[in-house]
């Protein structure tokens, strides 16, 4: 036991939490792990953790959380998603990509995506993310002000961006309008402790080169991430070669927009040269294995990316194509698909996968100094999982257990920015009552309209 000395004089406005008797997985650079330890949280940050003795007398007003039978670890980081799309969960599955997108998703998006449905879909997404242990997510969609309001109220941490696209978006008639909107959002949300407003261009095939450059220049101006879908499908890759003479990555490189604030979503179809470019430019990749499999897009060369030193995190993509926001599923799927795809059961070992979902995801978002691991001085973004369950035993290897056996549903308590936002599966701020009924109402309207459209066709 190491005694820690902490200033006994608590300032009146400081709030303390102490987690005791917990199994603690830190994901720090030493992979520190305690079978039974404590964590001291002051306001939004971790003060101390591990095999420490914390005198409760020193913190008489601290909230004490019993960690007996629980695993505490960093909250998971979702590096690519479109949260309002939860309202389309299961609307159109088992379809060819083009039919899915052009005959199902785009028509309902243009008709049903508005401030109200975005608020509702985002609320549903926040509920699902908290339940499955995600504490930070990186989103590109529309009506970001509405998304930000829900994030503010429900307690998650998010990097949010309006998706700039080369045709009228649901909330922006022109790309310039979208960019102006984003600047307004930066003014409004810029000082929020949990919200970062960033910039996104939809994809190389849906935005002109100059629009991509312009959007990127805004990201640089404000020193925030820049998101873009890149090389998701073979079709995109092949068409890029024909249209631009470059691979999608090569094309973006030729535009001069690739550097260390760029998050390339998907990166499925990459040449060795593309991987070198990504490494040289410091570009990060958001890997979405389940979505890529479900739409038969392919398998991103993640083992090669990691070997080259490219930063890779996990994304779920939107629920319309996944169909969930559960990063535990992505971890499991990634671990096994890359073994199969490489014909090598040693690639993407469990620890590497847990790293990608935590500190690796934080690196992708440029937030590795604040989140992604449990360390003194870092933000207190953590999850507590119930280990008193059949699939959680025995524990030979904690990483293996996390990747191959534990599930999002094992998460019971979530603390973000030092605040408990879910306690024993009960949401602290989010109102579950009536939520599902509201979601079903909008789904019914979409179904009715869909039937109408198919009658017209």
Say whether residue 156 binds its own copies (CB under 8 A): no
Instruction: Please list every residue from 126 through 155 that binds its own copies, using CB under 8 A.
Output: 127-128, 131-132
DSSP state of 172: B
Q: Which of 308, 324, 370, 449 binds its own copies (CB under 8 A)?
A: 324
The distance of closest approach from Cβ of residue 10 to its own copies in the complex, given in angstroms and rounded to an integer, is 37
Say whether residue 298 binds its own copies (CB under 8 A): yes
Instruction: Please list every residue from 173 through 212 that binds its own copies, using CB under 8 A.
Output: none
The distance of closest approach from Cβ of residue 162 to its own copies in the complex, given in angstroms and rounded to an integer, is 25
Binding mask 20-59 for its own copies (x = CB under 8 A): ----------------------------------------
Q: Please, which residue, 365 or 401, has the CB nearer to its own copies? A: 401
The distance of closest approach from Cβ of residue 218 to its own copies in the complex, given in angstroms and rounded to an integer, is 33
Q: Please, which residue, 93 or 273, has the CB nearer to its own copies? A: 93
Q: Which of 253, 322, 358, 373 binds its own copies (CB under 8 A)?
A: 322
Say whether residue 440 binds its own copies (CB under 8 A): yes
The distance of closest approach from Cβ of residue 125 to its own copies in the complex, given in angstroms and rounded to an integer, is 8
Q: Which of 296, 377, 451, 452 binds its own copies (CB under 8 A)?
A: 296
Say whether residue 113 binds its own copies (CB under 8 A): no
The distance of closest approach from Cβ of residue 296 to its own copies in the complex, given in angstroms and rounded to an integer, is 4
Q: Please, which residue, 65 or 411, has the CB nearer to its own copies? A: 411
Phi, psi of 285 (to 5 degrees): -120, 130
CA distance 377 to 369: 9
Say whether residue 70 binds its own copies (CB under 8 A): no
Q: Which of 59, 91, 189, 251 binds its own copies (CB under 8 A)?
A: 91
Burial class (CB in 10 A: 0-12, 13-18, 19+), 453: middle
Q: Which of 51, 273, 344, 431 binds its own copies (CB under 8 A)?
A: 344
Instruction: Please list every residue from 348 through 377 that binds its own copies, using CB under 8 A.
Output: 348-350
Instruction: Please list every residue from 271 through 290 that binds its own copies, using CB under 8 A.
Output: 290
Q: Please, which residue, 223 or 454, has the CB nearer to its own copies? A: 454
Say whether residue 326 binds its own copies (CB under 8 A): yes
**Which ranges of 54-174 does DSSP label H, i.e. alpha helix?**
97-99, 106-112, 115-131, 144-154
> Looking at 47-55, 212-220, 335-343, 358-366, which segment touches its own copies (CB under 8 A)?
335-343
Q: What does R_g of the chain's alpha carbons equal in angstroms? A: 22
Helix (H, G, I), strand (E, B) or coil at 434: coil
Number of residues that bind its own copies (CB under 8 A): 73
Q: Which of 100, 112, 199, 314 binds its own copies (CB under 8 A)?
A: 100
Q: Please, which residue, 83 or 362, has the CB nearer to its own copies? A: 83
Q: Which of 192, 294, 429, 449 binds its own copies (CB under 8 A)?
A: 294
SS3 sequence of the chain: CEECCCCCCCCCCCCEEEEEEEEEECCCCCCCEEEEEEEEEECCEEEEEECEECCHHHCCCCEEEECCCEEEEECEEEEEECHHHHHHCCCCCCCCHHHHHHHHHHHHHHHHCCHHHHHHHHHHHHHHHHHCCEEEEEEEECCHHHHHHHHHHHCCEEEEEEEECCCCECCECCHHHHHHHHHHHHHHHCCCCCEEEEEEECCCCCCCHHHHHHHHHHHHHHCCCEEEEECCCHHHHHHHHHHHCCCHHHHHHHCCCCCCCEEEEECCCCCHHHHHHHHHHCCEEEECHHHHHHCCCCCCCHHHHHHHCCCEEECCCCHHHCCCCCHHHHHHHHHHHHHHHHCCCCCCCHHHHHHHHCHHHHHHCCCCCCCCCCCCCCECCEEEEECCCHHHCCCCCHHHHHHHCCCHHHEEEEEECCEEEEECCEECCCCCCCHHHHHHHHHHHHHHHHHHHHHHC
Q: Please, which residue, 221 or 393, has the CB nearer to its own copies? A: 393
Say whether residue 439 binds its own copies (CB under 8 A): yes
The distance of closest approach from Cβ of residue 94 to its own copies in the complex, given in angstroms and rounded to an integer, is 4
The distance of closest approach from Cβ of residue 439 to its own copies in the complex, given in angstroms and rounded to an integer, is 5
The distance of closest approach from Cβ of residue 444 to its own copies in the complex, given in angstroms and rounded to an integer, is 8
The distance of closest approach from Cβ of residue 233 to its own copies in the complex, given in angstroms and rounded to an integer, is 11
Instruction: Please list every residue from 395 through 424 that binds its own copies, using CB under 8 A.
Output: 395-397, 400-401, 404-405, 407-410
**Which ranges of 13-159 does DSSP label H, i.e. alpha helix?**
97-99, 106-112, 115-131, 144-154
Q: Which of 115, 241, 255, 443 binds its own copies (CB under 8 A)?
A: 443
Task: Copy the structure tokens of residue 430.
Answer: 């989010």
């Amino acid at each position: 036991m190491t005694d820690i000395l902490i200033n006994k004089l608590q300032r009146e406005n400081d709030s303390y939490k102490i987690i005791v008797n917990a199994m603690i997985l830190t994901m720090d650079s030493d992979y520190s792990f305690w079978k039974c330890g404590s964590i001291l949280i002051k306001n939004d940050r971790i003060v101390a953790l591990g095999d420490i003795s914390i005198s409760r007398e020193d913190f008489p007003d601290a909230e004490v959380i019993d960690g007996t039978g629980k695993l505490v670890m960093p909250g998971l980081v979702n590096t690519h998603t479109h949260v309002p799309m939860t309202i389309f969960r299961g609307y159109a599955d088992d379809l060819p990509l083009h039919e899915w997108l052009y005959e199902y998703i785009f028509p309902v998006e243009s008709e049903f995506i508005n401030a109200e449905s975005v608020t509702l879909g985002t609320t549903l997404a926040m509920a699902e993310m908290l339940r499955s242990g995600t504490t930070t997510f990186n989103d590109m969609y529309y009506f970001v002000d509405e998304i930000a309001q829900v994030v503010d109220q429900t307690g998650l941490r998010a990097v949010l961006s309006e998706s700039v696209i080369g045709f009228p978006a649901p909330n922006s008639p022109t790309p310039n309008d979208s960019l102006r909107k984003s600047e307004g959002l930066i003014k409004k949300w810029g000082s929020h402790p949990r919200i970062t407003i960033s910039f996104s261009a939809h994809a190389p095939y849906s935005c002109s080169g100059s629009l991509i450059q312009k959007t990127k220049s805004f990201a640089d101006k404000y020193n925030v991430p820049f998101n873009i879908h890149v090389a998701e499908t073979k079709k995109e890759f092949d068409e890029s070669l024909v249209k631009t003479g470059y691979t999608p990555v090569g094309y973006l490189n030729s535009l001069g927009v690739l550097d260390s604030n760029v998050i390339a979503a998907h990166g499925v179809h990459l040449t060795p040269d593309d991987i070198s470019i990504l490494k040289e430019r410091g570009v990060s990749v958001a890997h979405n294995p389940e979505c890529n499999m479900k739409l038969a897009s392919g398998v991103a060369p993640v083992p090669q990316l990691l070997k080259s030193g490219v930063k890779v995190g996990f994304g779920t993509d939107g629920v319309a194509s996944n169909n969930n926001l559960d990063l535990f599923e992505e971890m499991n799927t990634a671990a096994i698909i890359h073994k199969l795809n490489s014909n090598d059961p040693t690639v993407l070992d469990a620890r590497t996968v847990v790293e990608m979902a935590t500190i690796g995801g934080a690196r992708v978002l440029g937030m590795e100094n604040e989140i992604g691991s449990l360390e003194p001085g870092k933000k207190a973004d953590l999850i507590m999982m119930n280990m008193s369950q059949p699939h959680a035993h025995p524990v030979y290897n904690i990483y293996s257990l996390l990747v191959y056996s534990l599930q999002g549903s094992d998460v019971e308590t979530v603390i973000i920015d030092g605040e408990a936002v879910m306690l024993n599966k009960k949401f602290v701020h989010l109102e579950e009552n009536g939520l599902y009924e509201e979601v079903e109402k909008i789904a019914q309207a979409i179904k009715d309209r869909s039937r109408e459209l198919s009658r017209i066709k």
